[in-house]
Amino acid sequence: MKMRLTHEFSFEASHRLDHLGPNHPCYPLHGHSYRVTIQVEGEVDPVTGFLIDYAELKRIVQPVITQLDHTHLNDVAGLSLSTTEHIAHWLWQRLKPVLPMLTQIDIRETPATACIYRGE
């Protein structure tokens, strides 16, 4: 029995997108309350009845999310260009090796926008 599970995480961070120039709304220093939804997929364990225990998923993912919380993203190694696309890739690079069943990262800066990355 194959299933997909999701778990939502959040972090607060500031950034600025210097390369866009002063007329762009993302140029000045500003912050977001980021929402990150982690999706995993695989076979349900017939003994536990779980694909993965949500507590175990949180134990794996939260330390990586915490590395971004209350930071200025431009100062985080690998995120000098701190778009949601690059944040999704940054998270994938750190999570996939420790969470092989990871199939998708969905990251939102605002309720209206989302970047979805599946490791391609």
Which part of the chain contacts Zn ion (CB under 5 A), choosing from 24-32, 45-53, 72-80, 89-97?
24-32
7, 26, 72, 86: which one is catalytic? 26
In angstroms, the first-to-last Cα distance of the chain is 25
Residues pairing with 39 in the sheet: 6, 104
Q: Which is nearer to Zn ion, 26 or 44 (CB)?
A: 26
Q: How far apart are CA 57 and CA 6, in angstroms?
A: 9
Instruction: Clarify whether 26 is annotated catalytic.
Output: yes
Residue in the structure block whose two tokens are 């779980």: 50
Q: Does residue 109 have an active-site annotation?
A: yes
Smallest distance from Zn ion to CB 111, Å: 14
Report in angstroms how near the CB of residue 106 gets to Zn ion at its nearest.
17
Span from 25-33, 60-68, 72-80, 83-91 in contact with Zn ion (CB under 5 A): 25-33
Quick one: which segment of 22-30, 63-71, 85-93, 97-105 binds Zn ion (CB under 5 A)? 22-30
Q: Give yes or no for a contact between 44 and 51, defined as CB atoms under 8 angstroms apart.
A: yes
Q: Which residue has the closest beta carbon to Zn ion?
A: 26
Are residues 105 and 52 in contact, defined by beta-carbon separation less than 8 angstroms? no
How many Cα atoms are found within 13 Å in the side-chain-facing hemisphere of 80? 2
CB of 26 to Zn ion, least distance (A): 5
Q: Quick count: other Cβ atoms within 10 Å of Cβ 92?
A: 18
Q: Which residues are catalytic?
A: 26, 70, 109
| Contacts with Zn ion, residue ranges (CB under 5 A) | 26
